[in-house]
Amino acid sequence: MDEQLIGATIRQIRLSKGQTLTEVAKLASLTKSTLSKIETGQVSAPISTFMKIADAMGRELAEFFRKPSEQPSFVLTRKGEGDVLVRGGSKFGYTYEALAIGMQGKRAEPFILTIQPGDRKGTFAHGGQEFVYILSGKMEFTVGAEVMHLTAGDSLYFDPTKKHTTNVMGDNPVTFLCLFIQDTPDRGMHRKR
């Protein structure tokens, strides 16, 4: 799915809720200019930024990526057939392969993330909760002041409101399962971060 389609969907949802660019940008801790560029597909944002926007609008993250007519009771994603939402993703170079975009009503959004050696070190902070499970490669992962070295088979469940960073170690890409878990609309949305 390309950035222009995602941005147009975000804009459509925002307008249907009667929210202004300024209002959503403030709630998502973004500048109005950045949100406008995301909505017009001029800027490629990481998933953590999409989570902030979804929280600001009280919506599910998946709504930004799925087609409106989809309403399945389950989603089966075969190996390598997930929707690549951000190829070379965002300014960091990450690739996000969505595993269950079509499923509605969920609080968790699973992705396979791939980070290449030489991609920029990513620093993120967003609401909800997050879980990562390393499939291959080596990664330095920092949550707050804690620095951890993760390899295949390691997992980490953490509070993503704390600044966290990812950095590839070595010459091979890191591939990991990442589960972004949103707060429910009636609990924790729009809180200060």
pLDDT (tens digit per residue) in 128-168: 899 999 999 999 999 999 999 999 999 999 999 999 999 99
| Confidence check: pLDDT of 80 > 50 | yes
CA distance 162 to 127: 9
Given a cut of 60, is residue 190 above it in pLDDT? no
What are the start and end residues of each CATH 1.10.260.40 domain in the chain? Answer: 3-64
CB 136 within 8 A of CB 174: yes
Whether residue 189 is predicted with pLDDT greater than 70 in this model: the reply is no
Is residue 57's pLDDT more than 60?
yes
Which fold does the domain 3-64 belong to in CATH?
434 Repressor (Amino-terminal Domain) (1.10.260)
Please give the model's pTM, rounded to 2 decimal places.
Answer: 0.66
Kindly report the CATH number that applies to the domain delimited by 83-181: 2.60.120.10
The pLDDT value given to residue 156: 96
| Bridge pairing between strands 122-124 and 164-169 | antiparallel
